[in-house]
Amino acid sequence: MLWFITTLAITAFICSSAYAYDNNPLQDICVAVNDSHASVFVNGKMCKDPKLATANDFYFSGLNVSGNEVPGFGIAVKAVDVNNMPGLNTLGITLVRADLEPQGIAPLHTHPRATEMITILEGTVYAGFLVPDPANFFKSRLFSKILNLGDVFVFPQGLIHFLYNVGHKKATCLFYFNSQNPGLILIPNSIFASNPPVPDDVLAKGFQLNKSEIAQLRKKFS
């Protein structure tokens, strides 16, 4: 029995050390500052006194209607997150409804802090994500499917992905994220509409384009 307890204790110590890790960041940057008077920005939201919590903190209404339209892409988005359902704080969950007009698109983007699962409620959507090709550093593999009513697809955390309505009527989708702040990086806008701008030489050489073409892309995405 003593041998068993000793072995169990050693195993528990080793496993706890091996699987220790930092919490996932809930913001894009968090710069350290040695100033006791500086504002505190925590990794998440401050918690309400549990005695003051109510059922409304865990409730949201209105997901049955579409949200705000994103100009230029033919997509409207409504999120259920910690900002409008405070009870989600620390639970690592976000829910989003998206409505895509015919030929509407969620352009190439990534969520640095979340895996995303999509369910189709209406319409037909072409969805895909890109995985780096380990055999060729300069290429990637495309995993894609045509999704219809009731279909489910998943985008692994951090990978570039897209959605495109290939049907002739509006498509409605639900997105589930395993983070209360998944983050969103729109690839074209991040590259061509940064402030300050990425130097023309860097973009021209990186995309094998001339500077006039870079200028046109800046104008489109700014």
**34-52 b/e (C-beta count within 10 Å ≥ 16 → b):** eeeeeeeeeebeeeeeeee
Instruction: Output the CA angle 115-116-119, nearest 5 degrees.
Output: 150
3-state secondary structure of 99: strand
pTM (2 d.p.): 0.84
Mean pLDDT for all residues in the chain: 89
The string of DSSP codes covering 169-203 is S-EEEEEEESSSS---EEHHHHHHS-SSPPPHHHH
Query: Alpha carbon 126 to chain centroid distance?
Result: 18
Point out the annotated binding site for oxalate: 111, 116
Q: Give residue-wise pLDDT tens across range 109-151.
A: 999 999 999 999 999 999 999 999 999 989 999 999 999 999 9
Pairing mode, if any, of strands 68-70 and 75-80?
antiparallel
Instruction: Name the residue ranges covered by the structural domains of the chain.
Output: 50-180, 192-221
Write out the H or E segment, with its range, that includes residue 165.
strand 161-165
- With bands split at pLDDT 50, 70 and 90, how would you rate the model's confidence at 152? very high
Point out the annotated binding site for Mn(2+): 109, 111, 116, 161
Pick the CATH number of 50-180 from 2.60.120.10, 3.30.1540.10, 3.30.420.270, 3.10.310.10: 2.60.120.10
pLDDT of residue 34: 76
- With bands split at pLDDT 50, 70 and 90, how would you rate the model's confidence at 93? very high
- Dig out the tokens for 158 from the structure: 């951090």
